Structure 1
Amino acid sequence: MLIGIDLGTTNSAVAIWRNGASELVPNARGDFLTPSAVHIGKDGIVSVGTAALDRMADDPLNTATSFKRHMGVQRHQVLGGKAYTAEELSALVLRSLREDVIAYTGETPTEAVITVPAYFNDRQRKATRRAGELAGLTARRLINEPTAAALAFGLQDKADREPFLVFDLGGGTFDVSIVEMFEGIVEVRASAGDNRLGGDDFNIALAAMARRTADPEGALDNLPQARREAVLLRAAEKARRQLSHGPEASFSFTLGDRSFAATVSEAEFEKAAEDLLRRLRDPVVRSLRDCGIDPKDLSEIVLVGGATRMPVVRRAITRMFGRFPNSTVHPDHAVALGAAAQAGLLARDAALDEIRITDVCPFTLGIDVVERDTHGVLVQGLFSPIIERNTAVPASRAAHYHTMSDNQKKIEMGIYQGEARLVADNIQLGKLSVSVPPRPAGEIGIEVRFSYDSSGLLEVDVCVPETGLTRNLVIVDEEDRRDAGEMARRREALAMLKFHPREDAENVALMARAGRIYEDHIGELRQMVGQWMTSFAAALESQDPRRIVDSRALLTVRLDKIEGQSLL
């Protein structure tokens, strides 16, 4: 049995495709949403969902929430005296959802379509697959959350639609996708996002604002940090939900026999969340720029994710686009319903015969290269894109490179995912080396081909035409190299001071700005900005104040011209 799962930061949901439609599966409480929370007591008893969330205030050290933000990172959280990774905690949530399906249908699911934020990187996606495996589910497909929501939105009437934007703000992540529907094809044109922006961050902002009024004497300071944060964030969550239905809310909590409260207004909350609301704009601009669509040409702005219920967010979206967004899809259910529809597609359900879905590569994929600056000095560790972000998948792209040294006998390359000019700021996926015949620099060339499919599989082929030598590498995460026995065991374990001119604040800020603009663009413009960055870095290395000043002024003028082109 194949099911669809929305594995969320705050809440998760599961749905099945049955009788030609997506159907949500209730949990043991009869709810369609299960909090993504895990509590493990000192006695080893595990609670998942609402029962675990209820333990956050009184036993925060043994309760985990928002662990999805740490997927793909070797960070452990100790619960009940044992350490767990984010994927292991996610597996407990997935197992709970699986059991809900068994109770609801009488069938045991073995496969799942699991949703992930569109901006999840390769490590995070692989960690999600492992979480499914630990829960007894093979992840047949990982589908981007806004893509799933777009599928659910499009299946309402299966009508053709001009490009529309899916604005997905959940509890922990923010995604944007530009989607078009025509003749039964759901085509994702571009995706962008922020994996560190969601409803949780609005809770933190609200708590920081309201605490001063509710607790002027600092009674909370007497609590352990974990308990203090749990009390504040729980009060903030309740107040934020109230503000979705009225102009004021009560921020309240109890410590022993004392009650603490403060009234917060929507205007105060909006001011406290100004920086967060501002961050919503960048992914929108990036996605529109990447697919070359003007905001006024969007047919709809579709809201998904529980955090889009906040009036402050809806007002920000309305101001951004100059029109009201579409809220006809259920913000909490759309992603799970779309995942179930994808499951129906994989199962070749007759009701979906005319539906096809395409997606994009969310990150740029490339290798590290060496370039010469304007003075002929070799600069190492630079990123050379091969498959640009938002390329439709499956995709296969090739790029050509050549030797940089006389009598070079080998070319070594790292394979990276990201948008930064320096590979050190991107994620390394693997490495590969190939032997080449010793010749003068530049005489020997190689072809590097990247092939990337909809399941996230990256295959790298390197060819040396001079010799006919080829090398092939299929990217496998180190975690995936564990043997079946190790996976089985894991599954069971779940029953300074001196400043160089480079450090000068003005130079640092300008290089950071150039790096951001490099990440925001693709193609020839990106390459040009990269060359400017290399030239400015060379000026900094010279430690010649006059050269640095001139180079800085030139780079500033160039960047100003680019940023003068605004989409929104």
Structure 2
Amino acid sequence: MIVGIDLGTTHSLIGVHDGQGGRLFTNAYGDLLTPSVVSLDGDTVLVGRAARERLVTHPHLTAATFKRVMGSDHEVKLGERRFRPEELSALVLRSLLADAEAALGIRIEEAVISVPAYFSDAQRKATRTAGELAGIRVERLINEPTAAALAYGLRDREGEGRILVLDLGGGTFDVSILELFDGVVEVHASAGDTFLGGEDFLEVLLQAFAADSGTDLKQLPAGELARLRQQMEAFKHGLSGNGDSTLQIALLGTTVQWSCTAERFETLAAPLLQRMRLPIERALRDARLGPGDIDDVVLVGGAVRMSMVGRLATRLLGRLPLRHIHPDQAIALGTTLAAGLKQRAIDLEEVVLTDVCPYTLGIDISRVDERGRYHPGYFLPVIPRNSVVPISREQSISPVSDKQKVLSVGIFQGEHPVVERNIALGRLDIPVDPARGGDGSFRVRFTYDVDGLLQVEITDTGSGRKHDLVLQRSEGALDAEQIQERLAALQALKVHPREHLPNVALMARAERVYAEYIDNRDHVQAWLAHFRSTLESQDAARIAEQREAFTAALDALETDA
């Protein structure tokens, strides 16, 4: 059984293709969405709702939005422990897998995982490592907008058509243009920004709040800053739904009130909206299409609920975006369909899915000026971005000097003419036959497959000797030995039994409410003590009844406050 996983910046989902379509699994709390948040409670790890509640009460032990640093050697400190983004993502994956295994009654060992279309080589390999640390084999990485269009194309469309997918999640923005015809889902172009998402729109509001209220965000205790971010997120939702919103919060012992209109929010976010325009225009240009050539526009990702995003899409593309697909679930449903294709589900056997290489891949070269002088450090593309994969391309190169003994070929990824502004992927050093001098030529072949694996082969055309480099690992990534060490460390962490998680999350919520609402602390403390006493009884029916009552009491308190 191969599952499909949407490993998101803010939320993650898991599902399976069961022969009747994609089916998503609920977590221990009965929710489809699992917050991509991890928290440590001693040697016990909490993931999801319980961890999110601890962002306010235990910010130094809790991590969120770590997907934004995937592919780097950045480490997050939780208490005395340090975690790489791959490890934190692996803990989220383990939680999702536990939900799927509880629903299916079997062990899951394979998965298709979605990634932003504009994820780099290093970020894709880090996602694969996260899967390995979670104990599964990643059968395929599928671009998020491709997954969304796959779900839309197979479930809701008949006949042919070109679809433009705008995917604005918590931390990334992707654009893909796809064409559907005769059972084929073909990607024409992808573009995006891996550092543009709902978190950036939230940051715009935080900075405006700080400027208007005279609040120095850097001086706020970590718990108060986390609480402000949490309440500002709700404030942002209010702006999107009602047109204006008011925030009242106690910071540093003082109650601060702040209001904002939807019009001002859109003005504040204008630079972010401009950044969204560029990938849309690039994708259309690369696909050699105009707005009038697009049949449908699909919005996915939680951040597309902001009305300004729909208006931007309408202005640029001349049509109202489709909204009947659930923005939070489209990508996950697409990954389940991709998983069904991978395991050759009978009802999907006629579907063919293609994808593209999101970045240009090439080598470093020297260029000759009009005086015959060589200038090193320039980029020679071998595989242009948005080439359909799998693909193999060649370029011929020669040494710059007849005295050259070694030909050093750097492999890069990016769109800048100067190699140092692109991402270095590796290097091959090839011996040069001195007898051939500067007349020797070499053939460079790049082969890029659907899983993002790049193979570089350089052939000496004189001798026929070949030199190979398979780029499976990026600089700063974990090697096999390090993965095993990290895997052992993660396995040493304890995990609450799945059936206990709703109780753990409820107590974490109570602790947050106690910290936030100082006028109601006696009530919250009494409710918490009573619930803990009920847990000690180990009476499942009584615990369920008290959990429902406790939840209702907290709901009422937060609604009225």
> Structure 1-normalised TM-score?
0.83
- State the alpha-carbon separation in 1 of the partners of residues 122 and 469 from structure 2: 17
Q: Which residue of 2 aligns with 1:53?
A: 52
Q: Is the 8 A contact 1:174 1:197 kept in 2?
A: yes
Tell me if 1:166 matches 2:158: no
Write out per-residue CA displacement over residues 99-125 of structure 1, whole angstroms, 9 at most, x where no aligned residue: 111111211111110000000011100
- State the alpha-carbon separation in 2 of the partners of residues 76 and 481 from structure 1: 13
Q: Could you tell me which of 427, 431, 444 is aligned with 2:427? A: 431
How do 1:349-364 residues align onto structure 2 when only pairs under 5 Å count? 349-364=345-360
Q: Which residue of 1 aligns with 2:20?
A: 20
- State the alpha-carbon separation in 2 of the partners of residues 65 and 418 from structure 1: 28
- State the alpha-carbon separation in 2 of the partners of residues 222 and 91 from structure 1: 33
- The AA in structure 1 aligned to 2:71 is G
- The AA in structure 2 aligned to 1:14 is I
- State the alpha-carbon separation in 1 of the partners of residues 436 and 218 from structure 2: 68
* Aligned residue pairs, count: 490
Once the two structures are TM-superposed, the CA of residue 488 in structure 1 deviates from its matched residue by 2.8
- State the alpha-carbon separation in 2 of the partners of residues 424 and 369 from structure 1: 12
Once the two structures are TM-superposed, the CA of residue 251 in structure 1 deviates from its matched residue by 2.4
Over 3 Å counting, the alpha-carbon distance change for 1:439 and 1:296 in structure 2 is farther
- State the alpha-carbon separation in 2 of the partners of residues 251 and 140 from structure 1: 46
- State the alpha-carbon separation in 2 of the partners of residues 64 and 393 from structure 1: 35
- The AA in structure 1 aligned to 2:116 is P
Once the two structures are TM-superposed, the CA of residue 440 in structure 1 deviates from its matched residue by 7.0
- State the alpha-carbon separation in 2 of the partners of residues 258 and 465 from structure 1: 76
- State the alpha-carbon separation in 1 of the partners of residues 282 and 78 from structure 2: 39
Q: Is the 8 A contact 1:238 1:251 kept in 2?
A: no
Tell me if 1:102 matches 2:98: no
Over 3 Å counting, the alpha-carbon distance change for 1:63 and 1:481 in structure 2 is closer
Q: Which residue of 2 aligns with 1:319?
A: 315
Q: Which residue of 2 aligns with 1:223?
A: 220
How do 1:465-476 residues align onto structure 2 when only pairs under 5 Å count? 465-476=461-472
Structure 2 counterpart SS, 1:166: strand
Over 3 Å counting, the alpha-carbon distance change for 1:219 and 1:307 in structure 2 is closer
How do 1:49-448 residues align onto structure 2 when only pairs under 5 Å count? 49-157=48-156, 159-213=158-212, 215-216=213-214, 218=215, 222-224=219-221, 226-255=222-251, 258-438=254-434, 442-448=438-444
Structure 2 counterpart SS, 1:449: strand
Once the two structures are TM-superposed, the CA of residue 442 in structure 1 deviates from its matched residue by 4.7
Once the two structures are TM-superposed, the CA of residue 480 in structure 1 deviates from its matched residue by 6.6
Once the two structures are TM-superposed, the CA of residue 374 in structure 1 deviates from its matched residue by 2.9
- State the alpha-carbon separation in 1 of the partners of residues 21 and 299 from structure 2: 21
Once the two structures are TM-superposed, the CA of residue 466 in structure 1 deviates from its matched residue by 1.1
Q: Is the 8 A contact 2:40 2:46 kept in 1?
A: yes
Structure 2 counterpart SS, 1:456: coil
Once the two structures are TM-superposed, the CA of residue 322 in structure 1 deviates from its matched residue by 2.5
Q: Is the 8 A contact 2:22 2:337 kept in 1?
A: yes
- State the alpha-carbon separation in 2 of the partners of residues 256 and 428 from structure 1: 46
Write out per-residue CA displacement over residues 380-417 of structure 1, whole angstroms, 9 at most, x where no aligned residue: 11111000000000000001111211232221101111
Over 3 Å counting, the alpha-carbon distance change for 1:182 and 1:219 in structure 2 is closer
Structure 2 counterpart SS, 1:114: strand
Q: Which residue of 1 aligns with 2:456?
A: 460
- State the alpha-carbon separation in 2 of the partners of residues 32 and 486 from structure 1: 33
- State the alpha-carbon separation in 1 of the partners of residues 298 and 282 from structure 2: 17
- State the alpha-carbon separation in 1 of the partners of residues 244 and 456 from structure 2: 56
- The AA in structure 1 aligned to 2:337 is A
Once the two structures are TM-superposed, the CA of residue 219 in structure 1 deviates from its matched residue by 7.8
- State the alpha-carbon separation in 2 of the partners of residues 172 and 469 from structure 1: 46
Q: CA RMSD in A?
A: 1.7
Structure 1 counterpart SS, 2:145: helix
Over 3 Å counting, the alpha-carbon distance change for 1:258 and 1:198 in structure 2 is same
Write out per-residue CA displacement over residues 274-316 of structure 1, whole angstroms, 9 at most, x where no aligned residue: 1001110110111111111111111011111111110111112
Q: Which residue of 2 aligns with 1:450?
A: 446
Once the two structures are TM-superposed, the CA of residue 154 in structure 1 deviates from its matched residue by 0.4
Structure 1 counterpart SS, 2:377: strand
Structure 2: where are the runs of 5+ without partners?
Answer: 492-561
Once the two structures are TM-superposed, the CA of residue 53 in structure 1 deviates from its matched residue by 1.1
Q: Is the 8 A contact 1:172 1:195 kept in 2?
A: yes
Once the two structures are TM-superposed, the CA of residue 51 in structure 1 deviates from its matched residue by 1.1
- The AA in structure 1 aligned to 2:342 is L
Once the two structures are TM-superposed, the CA of residue 249 in structure 1 deviates from its matched residue by 1.3
Structure 2 counterpart SS, 1:128: helix
Write out per-residue CA displacement over residues 480-507 of structure 1, whole angstroms, 9 at most, x where no aligned residue: 7733x54233112123xxxxxxxxxxxx
- The AA in structure 2 aligned to 1:58 is T
Q: Which residue of 1 aligns with 2:31?
A: 31
Q: Is the 8 A contact 1:161 1:299 kept in 2?
A: no
Write out per-residue CA displacement over residues 38-88 of structure 1, whole angstroms, 9 at most, x where no aligned residue: 1113x2321111111111122222211110010010011110210001111
How do 1:499-538 residues align onto structure 2 when only pairs under 5 Å count? none
Q: Is the 8 A contact 1:381 1:424 kept in 2?
A: yes
Once the two structures are TM-superposed, the CA of residue 231 in structure 1 deviates from its matched residue by 3.1
- State the alpha-carbon separation in 2 of the partners of residues 448 and 23 from structure 1: 45
Over 3 Å counting, the alpha-carbon distance change for 1:481 and 1:40 in structure 2 is closer
Q: Which residue of 1 aligns with 2:539?
A: none
Q: Percent identity?
A: 46
Write out per-residue CA displacement over residues 331-354 of structure 1, whole angstroms, 9 at most, x where no aligned residue: 100000000000000110001011
Over 3 Å counting, the alpha-carbon distance change for 1:38 and 1:379 in structure 2 is same
> Structure 2-normalised TM-score?
0.84
Q: Is the 8 A contact 1:44 1:80 kept in 2?
A: no
- The AA in structure 2 aligned to 1:199 is G
Over 3 Å counting, the alpha-carbon distance change for 1:386 and 1:221 in structure 2 is closer
Q: Is the 8 A contact 2:443 2:460 kept in 1?
A: yes
- The AA in structure 1 aligned to 2:373 is V
Q: Which residue of 2 aligns with 1:4?
A: 4
Structure 1 counterpart SS, 2:12: strand
Structure 2 counterpart SS, 1:493: helix
Structure 1: where are the runs of 5+ without partners?
Answer: 496-568
Structure 1 counterpart SS, 2:102: helix
- The AA in structure 2 aligned to 1:270 is E
Over 3 Å counting, the alpha-carbon distance change for 1:219 and 1:169 in structure 2 is closer
Once the two structures are TM-superposed, the CA of residue 379 in structure 1 deviates from its matched residue by 1.0
Structure 2 counterpart SS, 1:253: strand
- The AA in structure 2 aligned to 1:35 is P
